[in-house]
Chain A
Amino acid sequence: MLNLTINGKAVTAPEGSTILEAAKYNHIKIPTLCHLDNIHSIGSCRICVVEVEGARTLQAACITKAVDGMVIETNSERVQKARKVLYELLMSDHNDDCLNCKRNTTCELQELGKMLGVEQSRFEGEQSSSPLDVSVSITRDLSKCVLCRRCITVCNEIQGVGILNAQNRGFETVIGPGMDLPLGSVNCSFCGQCTVVCPVGALKETSSVEKVWAAINDKSKRVVVQVAPAIRVAIGEEFGLPAGTRVTGKLASALSYLGFDDIFDTNWAADLTIIEEGTEFLNRVKNALTGRKSVLPMITSCSPGWIKFIEHTFPDQVAHLSTCKSPHMMMGAVVKSYYAAKLGIRPEDMFVVSIMPCTAKKSEIVRSEMKNNGVPNVDAVLTCRELADMIKEAGIDFVNLPDREFDVPLGMSSGAADIFGITGGVMEAALRTVYELVTGRELPFDKLHVTPIVGLERIKEATIKIENPLEQYSYLDGLEVKVAVTSGLKGARILMEQIARGESPYHFIEVMGCPGGCITGGGQPRSADPEVREKRLKNLYDEDESKTIRKSHENPYIISFYKEFLGEPNSHLAHELLHTHYVKRGKYNEHTTETFVLDVPKPEKRSIRTVKAAEPQEMPETVKVRSREELESVTILNLEAENKRLKRELEDTLETVDILKRVIADYVQQGK
């Protein structure tokens, strides 16, 4: 332990702590802005400066190691003044249109200003200007960027894609993809992790809220909503509930109160995905074992960020992807075919909204493959944060809502579907069904959890041996099915490089684009709880275990759906509606012309003043007189000012003439 003196009190702190950590350990709060615990510490914003005895300058607490015997002042007058000046300087080049900012009241910069007690802004100067960069998924508003570089760390170190980096220098510095390229035109996966860590309104999802309100208010549309599994353990946080609280029933209620016509559950489509993907996997294995053409390992395709990543980074390996659409796209396709026919409504008159923990899903729905008969499967994607905003806007008291069930038939799901939201969950759900289908026995794990692939590690693997299969699967007898699971694009890259080298030992791989899976997707609530991932994970597993039906193939509404509509898994109709193909994009989009840039016209400002001026009113006489007087006095003041200026100029000129005269005199003398 280290012995320190902080603010005059003798304290201790663990060896190796930074000053910030040592203070926190002793319940002393040092304000920070750019710092992110365990992820990003570069000391660039300097807000966390403290006074250290013996040091000439103030030290950034987040990057300065505490040393035994150190004497630290975290709140001296010098520190307070420095922090205020730093803050005001930050604000001097910040677009402080706070009232119209998406992050108003959830902005870390705003909160910091309040904490520092800043009530004025003394510095005025040049403002850097950057055009708004709007892609289908993510909007970059650099007028609000504080250059904390959290997004750079997340994009480069955590996800390993390196789309965002600092460009230019000094006042001109911007964070971006380089050479002024818009985000929608480069190899960004749209995972949205940058939007989660951005402390201000510089990086955020491109809003679909208005579009969804318009659909709800359009009486000619049947508006169907569906919710991804990970939303039910996260959205409560937006209403002050503890991290990971399960709010499935309240969520369904809120959606009904918002005015959606059908409240369905993406979980149902997750069960459907398992049947389709499981069948596809068995076919691929069968083909491989019987010497036919087959591509293994097969990789899951539920995560559109991951899909875009592989299309850019490993375009030659897209055949490894399962051809299954992601669950919410399947739901959209089913709603606009099976369900529309049931209701007798044209698919064009239906509007499908997906509530997703994801920003990449916003770009997934505009892909040309995600249409059937020219009608898009899904019309709008809202992130979890956007839905929370809508619920607040509608004045719904979320926390006190009664529980409600999802609507049938597309709202009923098994526990296997719930865990689609966690890394390892899709694999586990698939194994529960495939193993039982092949052997006739339940998956041999406690509570059906495939323990080796449960948890938040980057790459997890498991081997499941098939013994005594049912007769029709006898060719699988003795096969050791090797599976791998990864979340986050850094892990995905490792597994893909292995595949590209031809060294992958696996049959089946699950990839989710965000570290931890959808529970911490790019569209999820920003949490201050350091254990948010563990909490959401645990609660989603609890949701699974709370259900009577825990295997996708036992979902009665899936069984009846195949009987009534699709026929067999992977049938012709299933392929048409539920399967897709992929685009080889290349790192620099060299194989495609498709981009995801949105051209958004600037909203026209309606000026209240011009409206008034359009209809002139007769002014009362007194006002007229006064204004004429005012006009005259202004003219006089102007003349006086002009006079003063001319006088000064004359003085200057006379002085110059004087100097010149003396210079000439000097020269003349020298000449003599």
Chain B
Amino acid sequence: MDSNVLCKCREDSEEQKKYDEIRNIIDLYRGKEGCLIQVLHAAQKIYGYLPLELQRFIADALNIPFSEVSGVVSFYSFFSVKPRGEHTIRVCLGTACYVRGGKKLVEHIQKTLDVELGGTTSDGKFTFEVARCIGACGLAPAIMIDDVVYKQMTPTKLDSLLAKFYERGGEK
């Protein structure tokens, strides 16, 4: 199993470092039944997403068929095969948030960030998704950026919130 032949794209050391880190994690799990999902989780955390090359790398390192790896990756919506932004915005479109303006927020984000639903901004800052009820109906319309819920959002409030992310990479 010569994984170096696999990836000619890993010339820069940043990339190589990530692969080494993933390799270390795989070494911890190797031989354990049903470890694929954990490995994929860790790999996505390190690499940001799970491109074809990385899926093949994981398949070879775990000695399982590639089609099995891609089968699991494509089954769970948490896994992404496309690059993800630094932050993930999820606009809630559950019933409460929807009627209180969630849809307007979606349109607003699409316009101001110039990003399609499910896509990532060209500067790689945000990945934009919608959620079906995040359980914060009392705070409608709610959005999530990464793990934080923001309540009663309006386009204006959203603009200043996003500006903060651009200023210092977060609100905290």
Residues of A within 8 A of B (CB): 156, 161-169, 176-179, 186, 586-588, 590-591
Contacts and interface: CB of A to CB of B under 8 A. Distances in A.
Given A166-B71, A167-B75, A179-B70, 18 more contacts: A161-B65, A162-B64, A162-B66, A163-B65, A163-B67, A165-B68, A165-B70, A167-B70, A167-B74, A169-B75, A169-B76, A178-B67, A178-B69, A186-B66, A587-B60, A588-B56, A590-B5, A590-B6
B39 to A, nearest CB: 16
A50 B55 CA distance: 41
A163 B71 CA distance: 11
Interface string B40-76: 0000000000001001100010001111111100111
A179 B55 contact: yes
Nearest to B7: A590
Contact of A178 (B5, B6, B60, B66): B66
Most buried by A among B5, B60, B67, B68: B67
A164, A168, A177, A178, most chain B CB atoms within 10 A: A178
B83 to A, nearest CB: 15
A168 B65 CA distance: 16
B158 interface: no
Contacts of A167: 67, 70-71, 74-75
Contacts of B81: 179
A168 B70 CA distance: 9
A591 B81 CA distance: 24
Interface string B67-99: 111110011100001000000000000000000
A591 B66 CA distance: 18
Which 9 A/B pairs are nearest by Cβ-Cβ distance? A162-B65, A178-B70, A165-B67, A165-B71, A178-B67, A168-B74, A169-B75, A167-B74, A165-B68
Contacts of B5: 586, 590-591
With most chain A CB atoms within 10 A of its CB, the pick from B56, B66, B69, B75 is B66
Contacts of A590: 5-6
Interface residues of B, number: 18
A162 B71 CA distance: 11
A168 B79 CA distance: 11
Nearest to A176: B67
A523 B52 CA distance: 32
Contacts of A586: 5
B74 A178 contact: yes
Contacts, number: 54
15 contacts: A162-B67, A162-B68, A165-B68, A165-B70, A167-B70, A167-B74, A169-B74, A169-B76, A176-B67, A178-B55, A178-B69, A178-B74, A179-B74, A186-B66, A590-B5
Contacts of A162: 64-68
Given A165-B71, A169-B74, A588 B6 contact: yes
A168 B67 CA distance: 11
Nearest to A166: B71
Interface of B: 5-6, 52, 55-56, 60, 64-71, 74-76, 81
A588 B53 CA distance: 10
A375 to B, nearest CB: 35
B65 A156 contact: yes
A47 B42 CA distance: 40
A167 B67 CA distance: 8
Contact of A164 (B56, B60, B64, B67): B67
Nearest to A161: B65
Given A156-B65, A162-B65, A168 B56 contact: no
A587 B55 CA distance: 13
Contacts of B74: 167-169, 178-179
Contacts of B6: 588, 590
Contacts of B66: 162, 177-178, 186, 587-588
A162 B75 CA distance: 17
A585 to B, nearest CB: 12
Contacts of A186: 66
Nearest to B69: A178
Contacts of A588: 6, 56, 66
A656 to B, nearest CB: 14
B4 to A, nearest CB: 10
Nearest to B65: A162
A558 B32 CA distance: 57
Contacts of B69: 178
Contacts of B65: 156, 161-163, 165
A491 B53 CA distance: 29
A178 B71 CA distance: 6
Nearest to A187: B66
A375 B71 CA distance: 42
Nearest to B75: A169
Nearest to A168: B74
Nearest to B8: A590
Contact of A168 (B52, B60, B75): B75
A169 B76 CA distance: 8
Contact of A179 (B52, B64, B76): B52
Nearest to A163: B67
Nearest to B68: A165
B47 to A, nearest CB: 16
Contacts of A164: 67
Contacts of B60: 587
Contacts of A163: 65, 67
A427 B48 CA distance: 53
Contacts of A176: 67
A172 to B, nearest CB: 8
Nearest to B51: A179
A169 B78 CA distance: 13
Contacts of A591: 5
A301 to B, nearest CB: 24
B79 to A, nearest CB: 11
